[in-house]
Structure 1
Amino acid sequence: MQTIFDFQHNVDISKWNVVVDGVMGGESTGDFQLNEDGHGLFKGIISLENNGGFSSVRYDMPEMKILNNKIVAIRLKGDGRNYQFRVKNNDRDYFSYITEFSTNGEWQDVKISLEDMYPSYRGRKLDKPDFNHSQIDEVSFFIANKKNEVFQLLIDKIELKII
């Protein structure tokens, strides 16, 4: 097992950056901070105005070798909405490998198979192989459910694990 990020009191979250649809003229918001319990808190408002509709938070992490780990395990608490988890094997790539997961309002252990993550760019699946790399260089959480909504996602820990 390898820890990608473990949220706790006083942990440095300066490498986590919010990107919203304002880069394309949209009006969605996003904020990322440590809450009083020491969890990562990603929250905001999705607006479809001006062709908007997404908010994301990205961790520009040090390159991490995957080794024999095949699963990303995430301890989180969502708000009943659907989110995407994304990885890049090279943070300079224009596309990400993505998968969608649902939340239920309770603490959950979400397990994501790396080899099932598919390449996507701006909402379109690319004609490239699914994730088959030996490292990851960026992880992100993304919300874009094609409707106006308020969202909140608490993140406790992100790890790489063997199946």
Structure 2
Amino acid sequence: MTARLIDFQDAGEATRWRAINDAVMGGVSRGGLHAEDGVGVFDGETSLENNGGFSSVRRDPEAMDLGQAAGVALRVRGDGREYQLRLYTDQLPRGAAYRASLRTEGDGWQRVELPWHAFEAMFRGRRLPEVPALGASRIIQVGLMIVDRQAGPFRLEVAWLEAL
């Protein structure tokens, strides 16, 4: 099963993403997502001031029934830093997400495959114990986050996300 779920060749795709940065807890990191030449660019700068250190973007909610998929794949080009793909369902409390980490190589495009078992339930940086495994048929929102405890500029380019 290969189905393109998000494709930044779609001119309106980047307008469906919203930034949520550490300012919500007093931090001063900045970041967001915009389109450049048919690619989504998640970029900005993380700062560890005021106990901050994260930047994230979330796509407008849209149900994605991926119950028949084995996971998701992304085509990305990064800067060598570690990012997270975050999936939101109705299985967890508000603000909690299933996350999987992806380390970028920083020297070209790469395909990253994330099987469902790579995702763990998290809330505010803490693993949630005793929660159900990710229900792929219940995904309602997708997000990207950088929270690697490093200060400095970041840039992650995303061409697409598809079902495996």
TM-score, length-normalised on structure 2?
A: 0.91
1:139 pairs, out of 122, 137, 142, with 142
Aligned twin of 1:71:
71
Describe the shift of the 1:31–1:94 C-alpha distance in structure 2 as closer, same or farther (beyond 3 A).
closer
8 Å Cα contact 1:118/1:129 also seen in 2: no
SS in 1 for 2:143: strand
State how far apart, in whole Å, the 2-side matches of 1:45 and 1:133 are: 32
- Overall identity of the aligned pairs, in %: 36
Task: Name the Cα RMSD after superposition.
Answer: 1.6
Q: Aligned pair 1:117/2:119, yes or no?
A: yes
Report the count of equivalent residues.
160
- Separation of aligned partners in 2, 1:2 and 1:114: 16
Shift of 1:2: 2.4
Q: Which deviates more, 8-17 or 60-69?
A: 8-17
Mapped to 2, the partners of 1:52 and 1:122 lie a distance apart of 12
Q: Which runs of 5+ in 1 are unaligned?
A: none
Runs of 5+ consecutive residues of structure 2 not aligned to the other structure: none
- Contact kept, 8 Å, 1:116 with 1:131, in 2: the verdict is no
1:85 aligns with 2:85: yes
Query: Partner of 1:50 in structure 2?
Result: 50
Q: Tell whether the 8 Å contact from 2:82 to 2:148 is kept in structure 1 after alignment.
A: yes
1:143 positional shift:
0.4
Question: Residues of 1 paired with 2:8 and 2:118: CA distance?
Answer: 26
Partner of 1:100: 101
Q: TM-score, normalised by structure 1?
A: 0.91
